[in-house]
Amino acid sequence: MSKHGHNFGIHDPLPTNPKQKASPYLQPQTRTNVQNREQFFKNLNQFAQNPDLEVFKAVLIRGQLGRVYLCPETERVIAIAMEEPQAGTIIKAQPINEQQRTLLETQNKLD
């Protein structure tokens, strides 16, 4: 949630670290607190109710087996672990680019 919260409707960024090197990429960090978690899960619930979701079962995610839900309209994914010790937890919640989508569709892998 801290890295991609802004993509799921949470606009409560942490101030940038003054010791951090400058980057050409947008790298906001979302504040992780009770209100933002509640908002994230509310938005996640709306995401899950989309009838157009594409479901990919048995996907390799960072070396773990999981299930991936892709919204083709927004190009966002939610990846949930299926193996212990993280079974049932959200591993990824982020926008997906064309290269990641191709890898997901052809090799059943998301990194």
**2: domain range?**
1-17+25-49
Same domain, 43 and 71: no
Average confidence (pLDDT) over 36-49: 81
Cα atoms in the 13 Å half-sphere on the side-chain side of 64: 18
Burial 41-60 (b: 16+ CB within 10 A, else e): eebbeebeeeeebeebeebe
pLDDT in tens, 46-88: 888 888 999 998 899 888 899 999 988 888 888 888 988 888 8
Q: How far is CA 37 from CA 25, 62, 76, in A?
A: 25, 23, 18
pLDDT band at 26 (very low <50, low <70, confident <90, very high): low
> pTM of the prediction?
0.70
Torsion region of 86: left, alpha or beta (phi above 0 gives left; psi -120 to 50 gives alpha): alpha
Distance, in Å, from the CA atom of 111 to the CA atom of 60, rounded to the nearest integer, reads 8
Same domain, 77 and 89: yes
State the Cα angle at 61 between 59 and 62, rounded to 5°: 155
**Do 75 and 102 belong to one domain?**
yes
| Residues 79 and 92: beta-carbon distance below 8 Å | yes
In whole angstroms, give the CA distance from residue 81 to residue 88.
5
Whether residues 45 and 56 share a domain: the answer is no
Please count the structural domains in the chain.
2
The verdict on 36 and 57 lying in the same domain is no
